[in-house]
């Protein structure tokens, strides 16, 4: 392996997966610990790197909204941006 860790967040409300979050220097446990303070988070039974968010608090919703909007636009235009 390359030593990179990643997690995938799935928004249950929208049935959508956000792009993977890569952690090149560690920090996955800390990230998940902090995220659990703000949302109900469950680990997927099928993929150990996938976490399902059941309820999103308003501050998290505002933070993730631009990412989701960009993904929606890319799907509509068929123009993925890198």
Q: Which residue has the higher pLDDT, 68 or 81?
A: 68
- The predicted-structure confidence for 21-51, as pLDDT tens digits, reads as follows 888 887 888 889 888 887 888 999 889 999 9
pTM score: 0.59
**What average pLDDT does the segment 56-79 reach?**
65
How do strand 16-17 and strand 21-23 relate by DSSP bridges?
unpaired
CA 30, 31, 35, 41 torsion: positive or negative? negative
**Pick from 27, 26, 36, 24: nearest CA to 9:** 36
């Amino acid at each position: 392996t390359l030593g990179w860790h990643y997690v995938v967040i799935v928004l249950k409300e929208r049935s959508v997966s956000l792009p993977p979050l890569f952690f090149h220097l560690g920090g996955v446990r800390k990230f998940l610990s902090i995220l659990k303070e703000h949302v109900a988070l469950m680990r997927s039974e099928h993929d150990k790197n996938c976490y399902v968010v059941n309820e999103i608090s308003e501050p998290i919703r505002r933070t993730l909204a631009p990412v989701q909007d960009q993904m929606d636009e890319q799907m509509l235009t068929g123009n993925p941006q890198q």
